[in-house]
């Protein structure tokens, strides 16, 4: 989930299965009047994807289109304006395809494509993230992981691609500096300093080790020559932001109007903010009530905080990375043994420590796109910030039960399994574009699903571990709405993460800060709640829990569109509200 697994959200997914009891409506046979439009629709999709790759070459590389290796987008103000204009033009052309001219699948794909365009237009045009938010750049072409860690080609080919990338970094740095204002919110400054500075360290320390196997003397010389200018460019950005930290301002909220617009344009959620907030509050209260019951079994008489701390202090053997590696085989076996969801391929996920430039979150996964073949995904886990006090560093590493459900979120049956389906989608749009709420909603839903199916064997410590993850995501929703529409301060959000989300001080500080530059992180809980409601409504006439596997396979077959679109597709035009 390059951006989906990290901060913003540009991902890739999909797959179509034939399932007993959940057949899709058959597409009507084309008539002579509609056949030309159906044929041109397919060509139009190809044209849009080609233009999208050209405007977003790092996204194309992430999908496995390596003809774009090392190519940078035009991040100048004029270049971004051109991208916005092209998106509007494609949107107008897509919207001109009338329902009667397309078959059922094409109509769904058209609505899916329109939603993707609107998503990009919100962040580029409405939120203006290239001109306000360092996360825009850290989530995009500046991520070098594909060249350094993904074995898609020989080490020499990847080294040459990295050289081209590094040269692009040096050229892009002045543009980034020109785009970002001198005065930024404090949390944005800290993000930029850590991200840009982390890249500089990564180039200098990790890249030479990663490409130590290069034998061509000229290539080695070119690589050495490219690293330092790129490192200096990123270090310069970090120092520039740090120099202006004394002038930093408080985080700036989107405001209620723009926040509602974000929900509509990026997720097709057209509900009052109050309704979303109420659903999130109810989810938080449900999880807290379940936690009290679980703690009553696990540590009778102990406070909720003490009970949670006991589970948290039971750390994974060998640390978080080793612990996660040990958990994955058992999670996969559980899915198979309990017939939870189809595993459509033999791909595997590896576990490694997160690189220095990308440690804003404890865990994330990078998954090769649909054009890659036979490559591993990597589940990354970030170590605590070494500048934190020792006690905070220790508390940052979760207990093994918390880690178990993080592994479920990232790998089995969360993101990794989701992308196994996605990369097999029949729709090209479904393969390439995944929404934030769809991806993170599924992964968060997957945590609760595993507990519902019996993961942990009824051990209350396992339930406490899962609820700990759920509380974190519930508070994200409430903090996102609170900070961006209700006047909640950063300190109040941080306190909510500690007191109601039961997070460690370091995690609470990190999570509160994230809400200022990632207002859409409410989508973890929002997506989960929409999926749970869709499951309940869809399986109500199909045998309840007996139909869960069929529901999961059907849901995952769509790629990653806004969940309200999937709801209408699975339940029909009278599907009702998403929440």
> What's the maximum distance between 2 C-alpha atoms anywhere in the chain?
74
Exposure of 446 in the CB half-sphere (CA atoms within 13 A): 31
Q: Which pairing describes strands 377-381 and 349-353: parallel, antiparallel, or unpaired?
A: parallel
Nearest Cα to 444, choosing from 459, 419, 466? 466
- Give the 3-state secondary structure of residue 350: strand
List all residues 6 or more positions away from 458 whose beta carbon is below 8 Å from its beta carbon: none
Task: Return d(Cα 568, Cα 570) in angstroms, integer.
Answer: 6
The tokens for 74 are 């035009």
Per-residue model confidence (pLDDT) at position 12: 26
List all residues 6 or more positions away from 250 whose beta carbon is below 8 Å from its beta carbon: 185, 186, 489, 490
The tokens for 68 are 């774009």
Contact predicate 42/51, CB 8 Å: no
> Residue 353: beta bridge partners?
381
Contact predicate 478/521, CB 8 Å: no
- Give the 3-state secondary structure of residue 29: coil
> Residue 379: beta bridge partners?
351, 365
Backbone angles phi, psi at 350, to 5 degrees: -100, 165
What is the C-alpha R_g of the chain? 23
Angle value at C-alpha 378, between 334 and 214, nearest 5 degrees:
145
Per-residue model confidence (pLDDT) at position 28: 39
The tokens for 415 are 């993101």
Per-residue model confidence (pLDDT) at position 536: 98
Contact predicate 232/171, CB 8 Å: no
Which ranges of 268-319 would DSSP assign to H, the alpha helix? Answer: 273-298, 304-313
Angle, helices 273-298 vs 460-485, to 10°: value is: 150
pTM: 0.91
- Token look-up 């970030």 returns 382
pLDDT in tens, the chain (579 residues): 333 333 333 332 222 222 223 333 333 344 444 557 778 999 999 999 999 999 999 999 999 999 999 999 999 999 999 999 999 999 999 999 999 999 999 999 999 999 999 999 999 999 999 999 999 999 878 999 899 988 999 999 999 999 999 999 999 999 999 999 999 999 999 999 999 999 999 999 999 999 999 999 999 999 999 999 999 999 999 999 999 999 999 999 999 999 999 999 999 999 999 999 999 999 999 999 999 999 999 999 999 999 999 998 999 999 999 999 999 999 999 999 999 999 999 888 999 998 776 776 788 998 999 999 888 899 999 998 888 898 888 888 889 999 999 999 999 999 999 999 999 988 999 999 999 999 999 999 999 999 999 999 999 999 999 999 999 999 999 999 999 999 999 999 999 999 999 998 988 999 999 999 999 999 999 999 999 999 999 999 999 999 999 999 999 999 999 999 999 999 998 899 999
Nearest Cα to 306, choosing from 287, 292, 317, 285? 292
């Amino acid at each position: 989930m390059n951006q989906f697994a990290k901060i913003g959200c540009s991902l890739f997914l999909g797959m179509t299965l034939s399932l007993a009891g959940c057949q899709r409506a058959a597409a009507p046979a084309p008539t002579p009047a509609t056949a030309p439009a159906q044929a041109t629709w397919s060509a139009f999709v190809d044209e849009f994807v080609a233009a999208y790759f050209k405007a977003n070459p790092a996204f194309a590389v992430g999908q496995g289109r390596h003809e774009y290796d090392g190519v940078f987008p035009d991040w100048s103000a004029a270049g971004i304006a051109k991208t916005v204009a092209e998106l509007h033009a494609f949107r107008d052309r897509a919207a001109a395809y009338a329902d009667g001219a397309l078959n059922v699948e094409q109509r769904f794909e058209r609505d899916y494509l329109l939603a993707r365009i609107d998503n990009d237009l919100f962040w580029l045009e409405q939120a203006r993230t290239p001109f306000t938010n360092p996360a825009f750049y850290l989530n995009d072409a500046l991520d070098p992981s594909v060249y350094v860690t993904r074995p898609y080609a020989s080490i020499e080919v990847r080294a040459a691609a990295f050289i081209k990338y590094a040269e692009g970094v040096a050229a892009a740095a002045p543009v980034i500096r020109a785009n970002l204002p001198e005065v930024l919110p404090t949390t944005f400054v800290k993000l930029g300093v850590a991200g840009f500075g982390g890249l500089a360290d990564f180039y200098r320390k990790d890249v030479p080790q990663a490409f130590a196997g290069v034998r061509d003397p000229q290539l080695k010389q070119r690589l050495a020559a490219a690293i330092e200018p790129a490192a200096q460019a990123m270090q310069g950005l970090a120092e520039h932001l740090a120099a202006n930290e004394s002038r930093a301002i408080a985080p700036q909220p989107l405001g209620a109007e723009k926040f509602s617009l974000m929900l509509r344009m990026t997720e097709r959620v057209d509900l009052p903010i109050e309704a979303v907030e109420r659903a999130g509050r109810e989810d938080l209260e449900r999880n807290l009530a379940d936690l009290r019951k679980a703690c009553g079994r696990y540590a009778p008489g102990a406070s909720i905080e003490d009970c949670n701390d006991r589970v948290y202090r039971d750390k994974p053997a060998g640390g978080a990375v080793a612990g996660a590696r040990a958990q994955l085989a058992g999670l996969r076996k559980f899915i198979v043994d309990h017939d939870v969801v189809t595993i459509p391929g033999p791909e595997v996920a590896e576990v490694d420590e997160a690189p220095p430039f990308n440690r804003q979150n404890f865990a994330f996964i990078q998954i090769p796109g649909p054009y890659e073949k036979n490559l591993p995904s990597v589940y990354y886990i970030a170590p605590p910030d070494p500048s934190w006090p020792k006690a905070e560093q220790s508390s940052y590493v979760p207990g093994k039960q918390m880690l178990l459900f993080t592994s479920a979120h990232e790998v089995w049956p969360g993101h990794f399994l989701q992308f196994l389906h996605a990369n097999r989608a029949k729709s090209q749009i479904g393969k390439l574009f995944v929404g934030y709420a769809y991806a993170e909603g599924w992964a968060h839903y997957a945590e609760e699903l595993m507990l519902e199916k019996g993961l942990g064997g009824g051990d209350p410590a396992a339930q406490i571990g899962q609820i700990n993850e759920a509380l974190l995501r519930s508070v994200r929703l409430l903090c996102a709405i609170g900070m961006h529409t209700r006047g909640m301060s950063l300190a109040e959000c941080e306190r909510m993460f500690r007191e109601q989300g039961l997070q460690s001080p370091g995690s609470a500080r990190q999570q509160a800060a994230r809400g200022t530059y990632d207002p859409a992180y409410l989508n973890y809980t929002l997506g989960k709640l929409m999926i749970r409601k869709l499951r309940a409504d869809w399986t109500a006439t199909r045998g309840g829990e007996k139909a869960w596997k069929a529901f999961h396979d059907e849901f995952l077959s769509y790629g990653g569109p806004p969940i309200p679109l999937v709801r209408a597709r699975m339940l029909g035009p009278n599907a009702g509200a998403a929440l």
